Structure 1
């Protein structure tokens, strides 16, 4: 198992959860109740987790022996709702559990 894999899996989980909170809780509150505080509160941590996810994906790709196509799938998944959970199940967990 690559040494960075547990860290990447944790970042992927946190990034996915922060994205869900931002999309399905903070954003509706912002527009329905005109209260942007939750978007402000969650925006920065989510942005940092997103950047960490992308950097870790690029760093871990050689250890995981991902093709260029697989790396792009992993990267694109970070902008799709629930995408990081799919990546964890299909690209991270099954090969090195």
Structure 2
């Protein structure tokens, strides 16, 4: 389950950057809405998966509320899922 969680964290971060860094400008500046719809849907699914996996893994690993809140906030900030993957989800760092 940890490998899935790590992959989801990375993909969620990539989709966040793609959504706001690439497809939103395409939609509003170039009037090309198609890619935004696709990436937006993918980002939504990955965001929900990240939150669910945070809860499931957090319960399984008996994480405290502080760590769960860090992951929750990380899901809302660009680049933050990359940070939590590196700091908390590496096999040698997981508790």
Same topology, TM > 0.5: yes
The answer for the alignment partner of 1:95 in structure 2 is 93
> What is the distance in 2 between the residues matched to 1:50 and 1:70?
17
Gap regions ≥5 residues in structure 1: none
Q: List alignment gaps of at least 5 residues for structure 2.
A: none
Q: Match of 1:14?
A: 11
Aligned residues: 93
Q: Deviations over 1:21-42 (max 9, x none)?
A: 0010001111111111111111
Deviation track 1:42-93 (CA, whole Å, cap 9, x = no partner) reads 1111101110000000000133342101101111101100010000011111
RMSD: 1.2
Runs of 4+ in 1 over 4 A off after TM superposition: none
- What's the TM-score once normalised by structure 1's chain length? 0.89
| TM-score w.r.t. length of structure 2 | 0.90
